[in-house]
Amino acid sequence: MSAASTPSVAVALPSVWRQYHALTKPRVIQLIVFCALIGMVLAVPGVPSWAQVQLAATACFGIWLVAAAAAAFNCVVEQHIDAKMKRTAWRPTAKGQLTNGKTLSFSAVLCAAGSAVLYFAVNPLTMWLTFATFVGYAVVYTVILKPLTPQNIVIGGASGAMPPVLGWAAMTGVVSPESLILFLIIFLWTPPHFWALALYRVEDYRKSGLPMLPVTHGSEFTRLQILLYTFVLFAACLMPFMMRMSGWFYLVCAIALSIGFCGYAWALWRDYSDALARKTFRFSLIHLSLLFAALLIDHYL
């Protein structure tokens, strides 16, 4: 190899690494692993032992691998749709930077590695639940529901709501009622979160051909659904306190965050603007992150 060609190789390798890293949808995966970690922490009374910390770290790694595999698989399935939307046109599969074969191989390796970690180093239940979540998101939601019905987010939201259940199962080997409450919160949070995004990206979704609610039923109906879901979500956010999973610190935080989300939804329903829809979407991320962070803090108070 000539000296002149060496710099190009040095530049190319990080570029390819970034492409594969982008396939994993890092921001989404971070939230998934964080929610799984909350389930792990709440499943362990008091301060965890060193062995439990190691188990939680291993479980987070395994869940990250399988979730990343699902994200990469999603990029293959939706590459033509992604290419039509400004929000996703930069993805390596949409730009043709990575072939389907390479992406599917990458997804398969991640899924196999993550499943092995969870089965042998955590427990079989967590592995099977995580793999079922992979199938639910990558196949049932992405391939079947998303192009078929405007209720895709509602039904498919079950896969996205699984991380706390996975975390709880990793530490205890069971699926408890407490973990299902955390599941319910994320399940009800998902539709208003994604519909707020779909409102200000409606032309992208219309161009892509996906039957998102603002495309099929219009802005006013979607905004009403967002408002109604935030009301139901408010009630669900109180359940950890009612079921004695948390104390007063969490309750105060949950009420404040839920009032904020309902306030954004109310304003969006009354007087729509793309800017307000964007703010509502961003606040929904803050709402879930801080809500679960409050659960974490409250657990040790």
Distance CA 124, CA 121 (A): 9
Please name the residue that has the structure tokens 């939201």: 157
Q: Would you kindly state where each structural domain of the chain is located, as residue ranges?
A: 21-175, 176-301
| pLDDT at residue 13 greater than cutoff 70 | no
- Mean pLDDT (whole number) for 273-299: 96
Contact criterion met (CB below 8 Å) for 32 and 60: no
Q: Is the pLDDT of residue 151 over 90?
A: no
Quick: pLDDT tens for 159-202: 889 999 999 999 999 999 999 999 999 999 999 999 999 999 99
The pLDDT tens digits for 126-146 are: 999 999 999 988 888 878 877
CB atoms within 10 A of CB 57: 12
What number is the average pLDDT over the span 61-66? 97
By the 8 A CB rule, do 20 and 98 touch?
A: yes
Say how far residue 199 (Cα) sits from the centre of its chain: 19
Q: How far apart are CA 8 and CA 274, in angstroms?
A: 43
End-to-end Cα distance, the chain: 61
pLDDT: is 100 or 60 the higher one? 60
pLDDT at 112 over 50: yes
What is the residue type of 222? Answer: T
Q: What is the pLDDT of residue 14?
A: 59
The pLDDT of residue 156: 78
Mean pLDDT of 253-282: 97
pLDDT on residue 11:
43
Which residue did the predictor score with more confidence, 20 or 231? Answer: 231
pLDDT digits (tens, 9 = 90+) for 220-248: 999 999 999 999 999 999 999 999 999 99
Mean pLDDT of all residues belonging to the chain: 90
Which pLDDT belongs to residue 95?
82
Neighbours of 58 (CB within 10 A): 16
What type of residue is 114?
G
Give the pTM.
Answer: 0.90
What CATH superfamily is the domain 21-175? UbiA prenyltransferase (1.10.357.140)
- Give the contacts of 146 (CB within 8 A, at least 6 positions apart): 78, 152, 156, 210
Q: What is the DSSP code string of 238-293?
A: THHHHTTSS-HHHHHHHHHHHHHHHHHHHHHHHS--HHHHHHHHHHHHHHHHHHHH
Q: Has residue 6 got a pLDDT over 80?
A: no
pLDDT at 2 over 50: no
Q: What is the pLDDT of residue 4?
A: 42
Given this model, what pLDDT does residue 15 score? 84
* Average pLDDT, integer, range 32-47: 93
Looking at per-residue pLDDT, the higher value among 126 and 207 belongs to: 126
What percent of the chain is modeled with pLDDT above 90? 69
